[in-house]
Structure 1
């Protein structure tokens, strides 16, 4: 499996400028949300009859495709296990799951590329 830095460079190399700006804006918002919610979980006793059914509910899912048909999918999920609820982000590149470091590397590459033009 490739390193996340190489994946970020490869994905962005084959992407047009308008899509790069859209991805950059989305990742900036996602980064703020992730920093606020990464270690947040809470207990709720609201739905006692559903407590045996762990579930994940997608909050938002975004998909980005570059000119080489490489696909980046980022899903924000709210999960529930017993009485505990929490927040999670799943990142997929060409249907392989990666951790949040791929988002960080994409942000670094995009900041360097887009802000150098300004």
Structure 2
């Protein structure tokens, strides 16, 4: 088991105040993820990318803006963005908004399978 704790000193302005928690050497996963903190009165950068993405609201409340639509996003909500869908998180409230973002694409999934096949080979005493 290996645990990584939230280190607020690593939070930075990459697409809006996130700490990248994947990858690290011991973790093999078909996705990448980030803990994101959006301070009161701020927002993430509006952006789109070729990845699939899921946001999971952890604390607070914010507004999600995507493709000309705005919805309230609060603790317990989960949203999915297909590839190339623009999105932005806006925190007009008085408290921090925290969420976890998970994203993946075919290349990320392929690298996962390559690493997984290599690990299986090592365990079985065979080359992967």
Question: The TM-score by the shorter chain falls in which range?
Answer: under 0.3
Larger proportion of strand: 2
TM-score (norm 2): 0.25
Q: Larger helix proportion, structure 1 or 2?
A: 1
TM-score, normalised by the number of residues in structure 1: 0.26
